[in-house]
Amino acid sequence: MSIIKINAITVPADSGDELAHRFAARAGAVDGQPGFEGFELLKPTDDRTTWLVITRWSDDASFQAWVESPSFAHGHRGGSEKPDGAASTDAPAASAADAPHAHAGRGPVGISAELWSYEPAGGSTNAQAANPQGTNAQG
């Protein structure tokens, strides 16, 4: 069963575009990591300043292997990140799922970050998306 890692990154109101730019600059950087299934960056549509980085992994071991990989270290050049996703005191917003956060020697965009871990426990599929012609498969 997949696991989902969510990094909730709080940024100043005027820094969200920079966060998105840094993620775009590293698009695909984790795609080849064993166990990686997908990624989304969610931008708030209201007055919140917390962005969500959603990653899906085949298992926790795959996520941990990425956190300990040279690719992760390259994307987190500040070197202050902890493998468990907790932020260090000298870089308050660095965490395991926000690779462009302290990108290319530039300072962090976020003011804080929190790593959440979930596994799917239920849900549904979009019948219209699964059957775009709108026909009923049951006849």
DSSP 8-state code for residue 33? S
| Total count of domains within the chain | 1
Please provide the average confidence, as pLDDT, over all residues in the chain: 78
Here the CATH number for the domain that contains residue 26 is: 3.30.70.100
What local confidence, expressed as pLDDT, does residue 72 receive? 83
- Does a structural domain hold residue 112? yes
Whether the pTM exceeds 0.95: the reply is no
- Does a structural domain hold residue 125? no
- Does a structural domain hold residue 25? yes
- Does a structural domain hold residue 63? yes
Could you report the per-residue pLDDT of 47-92, keeping only the tens digit for each? 999 999 999 999 999 999 999 998 888 776 654 433 334 333 233 3
**What are φ and ψ of residue 48, in 5° steps?**
-70, 160
Q: Closest Cα to residue 97, out of 28, 11, 7? A: 7
Structural domain of 114: 3-119
